[in-house]
Amino acid sequence: MNEPQTPRDEWPLPERDTLTLGMLPLNDAAPLVVARERGFFATHGLDVTLQVESSWAGLRDGMQLGLLDGAQMLPLMPLASTLGLDGRPTPMLSALTLNLGGNAITVSNALYASMQAADPEAMSQAPVSARALVAVVRQRRAAGEPALRFASVYPFSSHRYQLRYWLAEGGVDPDRDLELRVVPPPLVAEQLKAGWLDGYCVGEPWNTLAARRESGRVLLGSHDIWQHGQEKVFAVREAWADAYPATHRAVLRALLEACAWLDIPSQRVEAARLMCEKGYLDVSPTVVEESMAGEGAPATHGMSVFHHHAANFPWRSHLRWYAEQMRRWQHLDVAAPVLEDCLTRCVRPDLFREAADDLGFNYPLVDVKSEGEHASQWALEGRHGDIAMGGDQLLGGGRFSGRG
């Protein structure tokens, strides 16, 4: 660790000391839970209440109505809120990424068997190719059976676009060949078992849960689709960030420390315990522990990276990747300059760097990175020497410059 650039006694004093932050019952809310329960918020002079919301819509309402000061969010939510696509038009921004990866695609046992029978070669590929679905879709159509149903968790979600990326890569047209739904994570495993859904893309622990209950098979993880791709962010209203800059900076410091704490694999068991014991996640503790484990553990499909590889840095190009996916499927219709302006407003690496400087944490010097160029670890110049970055492969060998 490096010397803090800003000595502790020169940190600006938070304008507010009592905050309410929103989260969903998901593994990747762990940085918020750890920051509260292990005292990182308290160290930075903040008394934080975590409000567990049951839907992304409820969390969005809380943010737009000003009932929440900040929240765990899907990367596209601040953009959609700023553009007025999701709820009441409300500018929001994010200056910190909570984790990279963490989702997986699971299919029912019945669909798994059909895919296996239809195209064993596609099924033996690593990662499993959606090509195996093409044959199943064709057979079902010929037999006059209804379209297969796949779910993701929210319209403006990473899951929706990761699922579409995988499907399209294997030659499946998601709009024509399947019925795509939105089903909340706590219900997907149950609906898969009941036969209402044939597959889904959700975050952990909901994939491990289906596998544990033997109601489905996990096919691949989000790292197989976009290696070290962005998953959840910490977001606030733009007006809130302007009104309380020192408070925001203190929250970012606490979250950064919590993410670094979560980087140590043995501490993730403790994090799983905090999630279950403190009532944030009402799921069996084994499932949470198993799905929280880091690299090398058996359940790695839905693995989250919480800190290393500059995981917390808010790359402007990460949000651009998601925005490009929305465009690809005709879900986003805005002029290029409007989108550019939004990307600049919604992603704030400058604010991240202030908080990182307070702590002496390393960070990248550029705001944009390409994707699909590195198959394994590589070095990127940072404020305090090189940063070991993770691979950033895209399924099928795709490339993305990161620039508009």
Partner 1 sequence: MTVKVLIVDARPERSRALEQALHEAGFDVVTRADEHDDLYAIMTSVKPDAVIIDAALPSRDTLEHMGQLGRRFPKPMIMLAEEETPDLTREATSAGVSAYVVEDVQPALVRSMVNVAIASFESHRALKGELTKTQTTLSQRRTIERAKSQLMETHAFSEDAAYQWLRKHAMNRRLTIHEVAQAVLASDDDES
Q: Pick between residue 60 and residue 253 the one whose CB is nearest to partner 1.
A: 60
Rounded to a whole number of angstroms, the minimum distance from the CB of residue 143 to partner 1 is 21
Residues making contact with partner 1 (CB under 8 A): 51-58, 60-62, 64-65, 67, 87-88, 153-155, 181-187, 190, 196, 273, 276-280, 282-286
Give dist(CA 54, CA 74) in Å, integer.
14
Q: How far is the CB of 183 from partner 1 (least distance, A)?
A: 6
- Decide whether 5 or 20 has the Cβ nearer to partner 1: 20
Q: How far is the CB of 342 from partner 1 (least distance, A)?
A: 19
Tokens of residue 87, six digits: 């709820």
Complex with partner 1: residue 64 or 362, whichever CB lies closer: 64
Task: For residue 306, give the amino acid letter.
Answer: F
Would you say 17 or 270 has its CB closer to partner 1?
270
Torsion 395-397-402-404 (CA) sign: negative
What token pair was written down for 3? 């010397």
Q: Which is nearer to partner 1, 194 or 366 (CB)?
A: 194
The answer to whether the beta carbons of residues 342 and 404 sit under 8 Å apart is no
Closer Cβ to partner 1, 149 or 307, answer by number = 149
Nearest CA among 241, 239, 397 for reference residue 314: 241
* Closer by beta carbon to partner 1, 18 or else 377: 18
Q: At what angle do helices 349-359 and 245-262 cross, to 10 degrees?
A: 70
CB of 23 to partner 1, least distance (A): 10
> Maximum CA pair distance of the chain?
72
Q: Which is nearer to partner 1, 37 or 371 (CB)?
A: 37
Q: Which is nearer to partner 1, 153 or 258 (CB)?
A: 153
Q: Terminal CA-to-CA distance of the chain, rounded, Å?
A: 35
Helix (H) or strand (E) holding 175: helix 174-177
Q: Structure tokens of 361? A: 């944490």
Token pair recorded at residue 309: 């590889």
On the question of a cis peptide bond just before residue 184, with omega within 30 degrees of 0, the verdict is: no
CA atoms within 13 A on the CB side of 391: 11
Cα torsion angle, 307, 313, 314, 318, sign:
negative
Shortest approach of partner 1 to residue 295 CB, angstroms?
24
Q: Which is nearer to partner 1, 25 or 372 (CB)?
A: 25
Give the shortest CB-313-to-partner 1 separation in angstroms.
Answer: 28
3-class SS string, 327-352: HHCCCCCCCHHHHHHHHHHHECHHHH
Q: List Cβ neighbours of 330 (8 Å cut-off, separation of 6 or more).
A: none
Nearest to 99 by CA among 221, 245, 208, 248: 221
Per-residue tokens: 77: 């939510």
| Minimum distance of partner 1 from residue 265's CB (angstroms) | 19
Minimum CB distance to partner 1, residue 361 (Å): 31
Distance CA 370, CA 378 (A): 13
User: Closest separation between CB of residue 67 and partner 1, Å?
Assistant: 7
Least CB distance to partner 1 at residue 106 (A) = 18
325: left (phi over 0), alpha (psi -120 to 50) or beta: alpha
Q: What is the DSSP letter of 187?
A: H
